[in-house]
A and B are shown apart, each in its own frame.
Chain A
Amino acid sequence: MIRVGGKEHPWREGLTVAELLAELGRAEDTPVVRVNDTFVSRPRFGATRIPDGAEVFLIPMIAGG
């Protein structure tokens, strides 16, 4: 089990950030996520695996800076 934005979400071995966002229907509008203390950006979504028990947050990067 992992938590996404504070809500529980099922985990499976090898689950990537890209797969998680697809499951959530959030692939299009999410450029950055935080997995525990690590920020991961879209170019690395496919290659980043989420560990069991992780806290995941979808970062709404839009017009900050």
Chain B
Amino acid sequence: MSAPRLEPRLSFPYRRPAVERGYTRQTLHVDLSRPAVAVKPVPPEMERIFIGGKGFDLWLLWQAVTPQTRWDDPENEICIACGPLGGTPSYPGSGKSIAATISPLTGTVIDSNVGGYFGPFLKFAGFDALEVQGLSAEEVVIVVDGIEEQVTLYGAEGLPEDAYALTAYLTERFAKGRPRDVSVVSTGPAARHTRFGCLNFSWYDPKRKRARYKQAGRGGIGTVLAHKRVRALVARTDSSVTIDTNAPADRERLKQVSRLHSREIVELDPKQNEMSVIGTTHLVTIMNDHDLLPTHNFRFGSHREAENLGQAVFRRLFDPGFDGCWMGCTVACSHGVRDFVPLTGPYRGTPVFVDGPEYETIAGLGSLLGIFDPHTVIEMNFYCDAYGLDTISVGTATAFAMECFELGLIGREATGGLELRFGNRAAALELIHQMARGEGFGRIVGEGVRRMKALFAERWGADPRLLADIGMEAKGLEFSEYMTKESLAQQGGYGLALKGPQHDEAWLIFLDMVHNFMPTFEQKAEALHWFPMFRTWFSLCGLCKLPWNDIVPEDNRDTPEPAKVMKHVRWYAEYFSAVTGRESTPEDLIRMSEAVYNFQRIFNLRMGFGRREHDTLPYRAVGPVTDLEYESRAERYDRQLAEIHPGRDIASLATAEKRALLRAHREAQYVRLQDAVYRRRGWTPEGIPTLATVRRLGIDFPEVVALLAAHGVRE
């Protein structure tokens, strides 16, 4: 390969505006096709209604695309935004970027909330959001340099292929001796060959003297970046960020509320989950003990070997030290493994630093595949990041292929000779390398579960009904890694999520199953209203949700609504008021989210989704598909059937009959839940926001009203 070369193709000087109350009030648009760069103002209405972050992304994307736009059309764009609170170093969890695009997996909007420094650096370089539109004729790197006040588009040749090496190279190249001033967004070679390419967002770790990474994993945003032929986005700014950099409306108020939350975390994290030591790995054995850890493509919720992947192991493997993915985050949960030596692939035998794994990656690349060896999980984690792959989709898609192989729905002729059984570590790793090379069965798995289902039925004659039941996707997106069979509320949390089954909208399993906080449909519907709304708010503002409810006040359980952790919600209202000067209550935060949330639902509608029929789930998420699954928890299911059908002799029924009875009941329950949630959210029985709802939320733009009318919604 030739030496790396970056040739400036286009330079665009600009004046960096002062940040005022968390906003620069301008956004940056890059058109790769022409190529051209432009700056757009943020109108007051956009700021008032859409707040920032994901709200800005959605509004910009809405104007860029049409109902016919596909993910690979030039008009599709990648939007990345921070938010008014993003970049505050005093308040924990305040450095998130939110990326959005039209997804290669779902065909509609996907959004992803990610750490690393890019979003805040973009803002401090002068822009509340970035749009990257068009298709480039050559490979390019886009650099937003807030110090030089210049945007430059470089033609790129000979750059390192994988994301780790590429980021290290670009950090060094643009740092001018201060690597902490640089953040890079990149993907890797597998993003060119699969639909679930991820974005790696970097930050520089001065103690370890290396770039570190967080991933915007879901929905294939990396695939879109690779298709546009953008090798990387670079933001550069002075990294001496302080509480004043956002120019808050009330500095003292901000200081006070920041101190409260920050200190509470320092005091309570050691007494609670110890996230600053073990990240989210504690969830592995907790989920396993509650029969909620997905194993073997979501067939079962526990496994006797799960402890091999638990926090006790990662407590020893993680490199000790401060691991905040934004400055000053006292949760500091973004851990990594030092001097890990891969056994396969291009880094075979070479010590590397691996960022991760987190719970989702451990479950997706481990238990879900029947793999209970932490070193294999770490190696898969490393190559997924380096190749630019979403670990969740890789795990869930591979698990589906493994089950199809085990059930004989596909054979070795389909897998190119791979013995794709659960637990086959070598085969799982080989699939990832194939994805990076664009070869073999890995390329097919890289199409995602929805397309594999169609292909296996068409080419190999597999039973489409069985494929539909065990293929763990909804809306085209692979499930994230929680078992939902015994939690109707979490079935709603996945099935009714706007972008597909990702738990960031609602994680209600413990509330529903373990605490039994919401026995009625109305209570579940209320939770499926409030939680998605409040969780959405974090992505409007550039925040991480972990400090809200992963560490809770000691007196929280004595409050009227412990699940909401209202003390923290009030702090967030205070935080928002202090930075923006827009005096807000907790109820105001929910209203902000509601507007954006409903707008996204309508965006889905515009792209041909967003109705009841698109909120369905594979039956594996709802109940036991096979006799094996039923019989493994027969006592539980038999007891439930006896309660549902008192007087009926359940014991005399064959397993298949019992499964059918249970299925009829559970599917009907899910439909009742949909009804209740749609009502609570102010939607029609078809799941479309009513005119009254969009008026109340101030999103009754003419094109929204026309779209609703086209779907028969006129009041």
Contacts and interface: CB of A to CB of B under 8 A. Distances in A.
Interface of A: 5-6, 29, 31-32, 34, 37-44, 57, 59-65
Contacts of A61: 286, 510, 514
B282 A63 contact: no
Contacts of B289: 40-44
Contacts of A29: 515, 557
Max chain B C-beta neighbours (<10 A), residue from A38, A39, A40, A41: A39
Interface in B497-527: 503, 507-511, 514-515
Contacts of B549: 62-64
Counting from the closest, the 4 A-B pairs by CB-CB distance are A65-B507, A41-B289, A64-B550, A31-B514
A13 to B, nearest CB: 25
B286 A41 contact: yes
A63 B545 CA distance: 11
12 contacts: A5-B271, A6-B271, A41-B285, A57-B272, A60-B272, A61-B286, A61-B514, A62-B552, A63-B510, A63-B511, A64-B550, A65-B509
Contacts of A41: 285-286, 289-290
Contact of A60 (B290, B546, B556): B556
Contact of A65 (B285, B312, B315, B482): B482
A54 to B, nearest CB: 14
Contact of A31 (B482, B510, B552, B562): B510
B656 to A, nearest CB: 29
A37 B563 contact: no
B113 interface: no
Contact of B508 (A6, A37, A38, A63): A63
Given A37-B315, A65-B507, A65-B509, A60 B514 contact: no
Contacts of A40: 289
B465 to A, nearest CB: 31
Nearest to B513: A31
Given A37-B315, A41-B290, A64 B556 contact: no
B254 interface: no
Interface string B548-569: 0110101011000011110000
Given A41-B289, A61-B286, 10 more contacts: A31-B515, A37-B312, A41-B290, A42-B290, A43-B289, A44-B289, A57-B271, A62-B562, A63-B508, A65-B283
Given A39-B311, A57-B272, A64 B285 contact: no
B531 interface: yes
B273 interface: yes
Contact of A38 (B312, B514, B557): B312
Interface in B281-315: 282-283, 285-286, 289-290, 310-312, 315
B272 A62 contact: no
Max chain B C-beta neighbours (<10 A), residue from A38, A44, A65: A65
Nearest to A6: B271
A39 B285 contact: yes
A62 B563 contact: yes
Contacts of B503: 65
Contacts of A6: 271
A34 B289 CA distance: 14
Contacts of B272: 57, 59-60
Contacts of A44: 289
Interface in B469-490: 482
Contacts of A64: 273, 283, 507, 510, 546, 549-550
A39 B422 CA distance: 27
B123 to A, nearest CB: 28
A6 to B, nearest CB: 7
Interface in B525-552: 531, 546, 549-550, 552
Nearest to A45: B289
A63 B518 CA distance: 13
Interface string B47-70: 000000000000000000000000
Contacts of B563: 62-63
A57 B274 CA distance: 11
A43 B507 CA distance: 21
Contacts of A39: 282, 285-286, 310-311
Contacts of B482: 65
Contact of A62 (B282, B310, B510, B546): B510
A59 B310 CA distance: 17
B673 to A, nearest CB: 18
Nearest to B275: A64
Contacts of B271: 5-6, 57
A38 B274 CA distance: 11
Contacts of B552: 60, 62
Contacts of A59: 272-273
B405 to A, nearest CB: 30
Contacts of A5: 271, 554
B511 A62 contact: yes
A6 B271 CA distance: 8
Contacts of B546: 64
Contacts of B509: 65
A15 to B, nearest CB: 20
Nearest to B307: A38
Contacts of B550: 64
A8 to B, nearest CB: 15
Contacts of B286: 32, 39, 41, 61
